[in-house]
């Protein structure tokens, strides 16, 4: 199928670019500029290339650069922000510091006639975030867009199908971003064939062929990612799949029982439940660093799966519900390590399986949900809000103890109950409580209390790449606070997190 390469120069929105392209039913992959040569790009047959933004200046000799031969490879290219400036420099144009006239946030955009801007109003709003700007377009390029502060907010060489925009069409604040990406894909001549029904059929066929005669142990958490992975593998290899659910003691209130109840009816003897609560608590004792927590949990998961595999007569492969954001956020190419996901950055080097099967590794969360619907999984599984593999360990800042887990479970259950029963115009896509490592003074029963602080977190998002904090009605927050402080004697106060992603992540650790 037609594929577009997102050539990553360290941009914070690189994943969003891939998402926007996939929304147009064209497959997109993210690769670091360091890992690709022009010859390799040409050999792989990409229909188009998007050069991403990045935090550097193209005028810095140490900043990411690329072979100018790419511009003459005959592949349509769209440069965004840093990618636009790099294209200008590669083609012989000039880029200079914007100084005090840099642009950040919503900006008025004026466009001129261009294939890239077909169907875009002459004046609209775009999203800017740049310190440098193109001050002289290269020979053969015409300026196609401007803003009040930027004389070259867009340029193109139509004959070579080279396009550049200083703004960010991948961000939803850019009004015509979707149209711009659609126009670029038309320029590339892409067939819109990236649909989940095709993914399911192709993946099942591939897994059936590749895994024939092999026994696979599936790491099942009960979340949407692992549930969809299990359904795909079950469709492909049937009884050669065994799902293992590990209760690591870091789950929400009532969750171990709920997971076993749901999947026992679907898997029967193909589900094995392991109680490893004491083991994980022991390994996490005294650990406060969140990255270390994730890595410990990742390794212990693997060790439990290895031991379980041996006790069941041995397995060839381990299967996981890893998805694309897990890979990117754990550090892929030039992307920074946002957090090491337990199933990526936390995997030890000496895994005692012949290999790891991750059929969803290239999908975003909303794509995984669509796969689940294609596989006819029930809504309460497919639409389940995300829950991190390390569980409550990354919702407790500081050391994880049994007492802290009990406090957080109760607070989290109360918050979720209040949200689930509330009438709200906009419902959050993820909501939970965090036990902070901050203490605060309070008064209970006419006595002074120096107790814990619970933070509540709720976000609204389309793809979990960006997220806005949810405007929960004040009366819902009030009821939640009253219930938590009444039910948990050691909690002194409750606060609400009103930080969006970015700059924050959804989880606290």
Active site residues per annotation: 81, 168, 170
> Rounded to 5, what percent of the chain is helix, strand, coil?
40, 25, 40
Collapsed DSSP state (helix, strand, coil) of residue 176: coil
Q: What single string gives the DSSP state of each residue in 436-472?
A: EEEEEEEEETTEEEEEEEEEEEEEE-SSSSSBEE---
Residues 477, 473: Cα–Cα separation, whole Å:
7
Q: How far is CA 124 from CA 81, 83, 127, 170, 467, in A?
A: 18, 22, 10, 15, 23
Angle made by CA atoms 200, 204, 205, in degrees to the nearest 5: 120
Contact of 309 with 217, CB cutoff 8 Å: yes
DSSP E strand stretches across 83-236:
94-97, 103-111, 123-130, 132-136, 142-146, 154-157, 162-165, 216-219
**Alpha-carbon gap, residue 302 to 360, rounded angstroms:** 19
Residue whose C-alpha is closest to residue 501's, from 11, 13, 6: 13
- In this structure, what DSSP letter does residue 139 have? T
Sheet containing strand 241-247, strands side by side:
271-275, 241-247, 216-219, 317-319, 355-357
Q: How many CA atoms lie within 13 A of 107 on its CB side?
A: 25
Distance of CA 236 to the CA centre of its chain: 27
Cβ–Cβ < 8 Å for 274, 308 = yes
């Amino acid at each position: 199928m037609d594929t577009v390469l997102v050539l990553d120069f360290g941009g914070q929105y690189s994943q969003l670019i891939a998402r926007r392209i996939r929304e147009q039913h064209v497959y997109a992959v993210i690769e670091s500029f360091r890992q690709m040569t022009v010859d390799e790009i040409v050999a792989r047959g990409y229909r188009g290339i998007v050069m991403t933004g990045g935090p550097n200046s193209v005028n810095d000799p140490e900043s990411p650069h690329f072979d100018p031969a790419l511009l003459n490879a005959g592949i349509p290219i769209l440069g965004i922000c840093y990618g636009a400036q790099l294209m200008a420099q590669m083609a012989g144009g000039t880029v200079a510091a914007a100084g005090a006239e840099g642009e950040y946030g919503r900006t008025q955009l004026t466009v001129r006639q261009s294939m890239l801007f077909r169907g875009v109003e002459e004046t609209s709003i775009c999203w800017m975030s740049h310190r440098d700007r193109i001050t002289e377009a290269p020979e053969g390029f015409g300026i196609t867009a401007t803003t009040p502060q930027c004389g070259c907010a867009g340029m193109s060489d139509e004959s070579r199908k080279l396009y550049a925009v200083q703004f960010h069409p991948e961000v939803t604040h850019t009004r015509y971003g979707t149209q711009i990406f659609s126009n670029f894909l038309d320029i590339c001549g892409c067939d819109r064939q990236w649909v989940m029904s095709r993914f399911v059929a192709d993946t099942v066929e591939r897994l059936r062929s590749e895994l024939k005669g092999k026994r696979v142990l599936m790491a099942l958490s009960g979340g949407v990612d692992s549930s969809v992975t299990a359904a795909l593998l079950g469709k492909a290899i049937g009884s050669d799949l065994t799902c293992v659910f590990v209760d690591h003691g870091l789950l929400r209130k009532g969750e171990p029982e709920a997971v076993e109840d749901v999947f026992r009816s679907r898997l029967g003897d193909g589900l094995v439940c392991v109680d490893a609560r004491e083991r994980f608590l022991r390994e996490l004792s005294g650990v406060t660093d969140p990255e270390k927590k994730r890595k410990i949990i990742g390794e212990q998961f693997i060790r439990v799966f290895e031991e379980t595999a041996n006790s069941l007569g041995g397995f060839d492969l381990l299967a996981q519900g890893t998805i694309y954001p897990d890979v990117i956020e754990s550090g892929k190419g030039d992307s920074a390590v946002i957090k090491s996901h337990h199933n990526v950055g936390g995997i030890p080097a000496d895994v005692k399986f012949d290999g790891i099967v991750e059929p969803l590794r290239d999908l975003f969360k909303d794509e995984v949900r669509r796969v689940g619907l294609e596989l006819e999984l029930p809504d309460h599984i497919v639409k389940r809000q995300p829950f991190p593999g390390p569980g409550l360990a990354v919702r407790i800042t500081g050391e994880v103890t049994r007492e802290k887990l009990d406090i957080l479970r109760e607070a989290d259950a109360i918050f979720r109950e209040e949200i689930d029963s509330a009438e709200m115009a906009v419902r959050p896509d993820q909501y939970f409580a965090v036990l902070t490592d901050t203490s605060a003074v309070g008064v209970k029963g006419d006595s002074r209390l120096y107790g814990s602080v619970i933070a509540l977190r709720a976000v609204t998002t389309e793809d979990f790449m960006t997220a806005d904090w949810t405007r929960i009605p004040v009366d819902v927050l009030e009821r939640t606070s009253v219930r938590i402080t009444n039910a948990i004697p050691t909690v002194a106060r409750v606060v609400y997190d009103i930080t969006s992603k970015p700059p924050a992540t959804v989880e606290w650790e």
